[in-house]
Structure 1
Amino acid sequence: MAADWLGNVVSINCGLALGVYQGEVSSVDCASQTISLRQPYHNGIKCPVSEVTFSAMDIKELKFLDVQNTANKPRSAQGAAKQPSLISAGHHSQSSSNSRGATQATQKKNSVRNGSTMGPTRSKDDECFGGGTDGDLDADFDFQGNLALFDKAAVFSQIDGTSGHGSRTQHHSAQAKQKPLSYRHDENILEKKPVTYRQITVPQHGGKDYCTDSGLVVPSVSYELHARLLAAAEHWGLTLERRLEMIGVCSSQMALTLLGGPNRLTPKNVHQRPTVVLLCGPHLQGAQGVSCGRHLANHGVEVILFLPNFVKMQESVTSEVNLYGRTSGKQVASVKDLPASPVDLLINCLDCHENPLLREQSWYQSAAGWANQNRAPVLSIDPPVGGRHQTVEAKWTLSLGLPLPLAETESRVYLCDIGIPKLVFQEVGICYHSPFGCKFVIPLHRE
């Protein structure tokens, strides 16, 4: 009877440890209670060996997947007749996969699921996952048979167009001509034109050219032309007060970014608020610094304003100091009252375009000396032109409107939009197209 097993395709379940094997029966030894499979599959994956032998002690369940010798009997009857020769050992006669046993097991599960035996104690797993599919799970999936249903050669032949290739190619080419081109949301649907990178031209070149991140050229202008531009803007309503507010907002926004932005200024980090020191003089540049300090203090930054008690200050400085006095920021008049330890950021507004002799005064020299010893990074707002060496070396420099020809330093140059209209630029002979895009402060790179 052992010969009746040969050539049949069976599935052997060896439990969780060894898994499920499938293959063609190559030999059966009733004396040693072993069975061997040719070209076996282990859990659906082909085994690296050509034959595997199993002991009856390891077999938990045995199922017939394909019966080869079908001369005089139907498959179900023949399969049932062939089982006793090996299974009569008693260990797995109960787990043999005859159709009657599987049907009884399915009926039993259905009766349990319908609540006839368990009643109110029905398990939650059955309620959630017992959707009438457990009967189908008793049969192992036939990987080999399912793979045979997929004719890869025919499918790939159809994809490659080996059958009727010419007509298919002509059909697709005709569709390609008729189908309009589609564009992504970030693509330009208009015909492309060459980009003009020099969109700003000035009548009096300052001697240096800068470029933006996108490659636009931004020329420098002389101090005289810059002063004429500001005067024309003030004539059309861009007053000094409005410019100071714009400069204060833009410079404080840049300072907040340099301090860490949202990573540093959060409600959970009030115990580590950054400290900024502003060094200001009694002139327009000093008023710009005080405006910046007011906005920083409004955003929760610890601000310390250094402004000596001058006998005479510009009116713009006095107005900005009065506004700054309504914030939580501090004001000192002596270098001795400044912090001895390094601060997070130092904003330098000591220099003046019109009066270079301020550098010779004692208050200026003491403030510059303190800044150089504090070792804090320095942001310089609207520094003087390049002919004058910077007493306080800045890491960042913020120019207004258009850059001045600054001195050759390692400082990174940024440009601030102060709101001058395009026609005001044209009034002083400057052909202007805004290089700012969606920002109010942009970095400039030396060419």
Structure 2
Amino acid sequence: MSLHHWITASRMATDWLGSVVSINCGLTLGVYQGEVSSVDHTSQTISLRQPYHNGVRCPLPEVTFSAIDIKELKFLDVHNTVNKPSTGQGAATESSSIPSARHGQSNRVALPHVTSGSSHSGTAPITILRRGRQMAPAGSSNSRGAPQAAQKKNSARNGGPARTRDDECFGGGTDENMDADFDFEGNLALFDKAAVFSQIDGTGGHGNRAQHHNAQGDQKPLSYRHDENILEAKPVIYRQITVPQQGGKEYYTDSGLVVPSIPYELHKRLLASAERWGLCLERRLETTGVCSSQMALTLLGGPNRLTPKNVHQRPTVVLLCGPHIQGAQGVSCGRHLANHGVEVILFLPNFVKMQEAVTGEVHLYARTGSKQVAGVKDLPTSPVDLVINCLDCHENPLLREQSWYQSAADWANQNRAPVLSIDPAVGGPHQPVEAKWSLSLGLPLPLAETESRVYLCDIGIPKLVFQEVGIRYRSPFGCKFVIPLHTP
């Protein structure tokens, strides 16, 4: 039976007053549920009191719909009124659906005419469909007392399986106006922050913190805040390294520890003592090469530059080395860089006599397949990614006056690439090669005041070896092998 015929049947329409219905007005207007309050035969309208729109309580007490706007009308529940006979309509308690007669009409949906009706203080027995399960407002007589058979049958007729257990657990609805704004300030004013912190502290104050006692008189441990240390804290000693001979300068780590410089004579005695205990030159060269190569890899970009997908942009490093121990340290660094995929070019001048340590490192470097040149003319003319300077020698400062040294220093200054100096020698204020970073070994030497950033490398000298030469030592490296040093 169409909606038009249903409304025109006066006797039947009046019998459905007080019933709970669901009206589908299409995608634009949505779905309304509520109790039928009136049916107008002349204007072909139906009114719902205390309506719900798409599962949300409407702020208006009554809404009126025109028959032309209704696509489908479902009966969710029947309210037994005094006008309804006790027999003949007993089967009407089941949910039913009446499609609207819209044949031959346009698809345009007009807005329903809303009338302002009187507000009712009582709660109507409205059953709404929300998120796939039926929910009844609080205080409804049908929320818990309805027979399970009728609820199961109503759910099956509405297009879903029986959910009686869900109705019992989640059936408590609410009549509160969901459109009202929540009063955050008023709710926050109900929280007494001072009283809560006073209860946490136990005594009402943050400074005085007494011990708690139970009924037996046993003492309970003190209560601590989240930012307090449970263990007794000792004062931090920032000067953990003391030397018998000051080098004239002091440096500081990132955590504030003092690292004093030492003169080259004390540094030489320290390395000789370490060699007597087994830290031979080969071990020192390998440790220096590993740590300096790690620093160089970081300066080259680290994981952002050296990836398997970036083989077409391999960084290029030029090593400027001399025929001495400092040069051997640079060759060791170049070997580790070549093993990590860096394109390395080694500059080492041809000499008839070369130290044995340099010869051994050069033979290992040659096994990497990297390039080695003996003249500055064979070095790249375009800027490279990094230049590592190992030209200086602590034992022979006169090397700076030789032509090969000066030509290599001039090439480094003109290449416009950043320079890393490994174990730089103590010299005058003017350095032949302007370095951006300087890496000292063990303890720093009193380097000249330049714009170079000083770093310190751990070469593995034990604590008692420092003590043997009169240095009270505690490692400032922490979890790292290379740390930056700062001047005051």
User: TM class, shorter-chain normalised?
Assistant: 0.7 to 0.9
C-alpha contact (below 8 Å) 2:289/2:336 kept by paired residues: yes
Task: Determine whether 1:413 maps to 2:463.
Answer: no
Of 374, 390, 397, which aligns to 2:431?
390
Task: Determine whether 1:103 maps to 2:103.
Answer: no
Aligned partner of 1:42 in structure 2 is 53
Aligned partner of 1:62 in structure 2 is 74
Q: TM-score, normalised by structure 1?
A: 0.75
Tell me, what secondary structure is at the counterpart of 2:310? Answer: helix
Aligned partner of 1:229 in structure 2 is 270
Of 282, 289, 292, which aligns to 2:323?
282
C-alpha contact (below 8 Å) 1:256/1:296 kept by paired residues: yes
CA drift of 1:178 comes to 5.8
- Please give the alpha-carbon distance, in whole angstroms, between the structure 2 residues aligned to 1:23 and 1:142: 23
Once the two structures are superposed, residues 210-260 of structure 1 have per-residue CA deviations (whole angstroms, 9 ceiling, x without a partner) of: 222223222222222222211211121211111111101111111122222
Give 2:173's aligned amino acid: N
Supply the RMSD in Å over aligned alpha carbons: 4.5
Query: How do residues 237-276 of structure 1 correspond to structure 2 at under 5 angstroms?
Result: 237-276=278-317
Query: How do residues 95-244 of structure 1 correspond to structure 2 at under 5 angstroms?
Result: 103=153, 106=156, 134-136=161-163, 145-147=172-174, 190-244=231-285
Aligned partner of 1:334 in structure 2 is 375
- Please give the alpha-carbon distance, in whole angstroms, between the structure 2 residues aligned to 1:90 and 1:140: 34
Query: How do residues 374-385 of structure 1 correspond to structure 2 at under 5 angstroms?
Result: 374-385=415-426
- Please give the alpha-carbon distance, in whole angstroms, between the structure 1 residues aligned to 2:87 and 2:471: 97
Aligned partner of 1:130 in structure 2 is none
More helix by share: 1
Tell me, what secondary structure is at the counterpart of 2:332? Answer: helix
- Please give the alpha-carbon distance, in whole angstroms, between the structure 2 residues aligned to 1:221 and 1:188: 37
Query: How do residues 295-314 of structure 1 correspond to structure 2 at under 5 angstroms?
Result: 295-314=336-355
Once the two structures are superposed, residues 119-156 of structure 1 have per-residue CA deviations (whole angstroms, 9 ceiling, x without a partner) of: xxxxxxxxxxxxxx63449x99999942369xxxxxxx
Query: How do residues 345-384 of structure 1 correspond to structure 2 at under 5 angstroms?
Result: 345-384=386-425
Give 2:161's aligned amino acid: D
Give 1:106's aligned amino acid: A
Give 2:376's aligned amino acid: V
- Please give the alpha-carbon distance, in whole angstroms, between the structure 1 residues aligned to 2:305 and 2:174: 59
Aligned partner of 2:441 in structure 1 is 400
Tell me, what secondary structure is at the counterpart of 1:289? Answer: helix
List runs of 5+ in structure 2 lacking aligned partners.
1-10, 103-128, 130-148, 177-186, 204-211
C-alpha contact (below 8 Å) 1:183/1:189 kept by paired residues: no
* Worse-matched range after superposition: 41-50 or 378-387: 41-50
Q: Which has the higher contact order (CA 8 A, sep 6+)?
A: 1
Aligned partner of 2:366 in structure 1 is 325
- Please give the alpha-carbon distance, in whole angstroms, between the structure 2 residues aligned to 1:67 and 1:288: 97
Tell me, what secondary structure is at the counterpart of 2:461? Answer: coil
List runs of 5+ in structure 1 lacking aligned partners.
92-96, 110-132, 150-156
Number of aligned residue pairs: 401
* Identity between Structure 1 and Structure 2 (%): 70
Aligned partner of 1:122 in structure 2 is none
- Please give the alpha-carbon distance, in whole angstroms, between the structure 1 residues aligned to 2:265 and 2:272: 11
Tell me, what secondary structure is at the counterpart of 1:371? Answer: helix
Tell me, what secondary structure is at the counterpart of 1:424? Answer: helix
Give 2:418's aligned amino acid: P
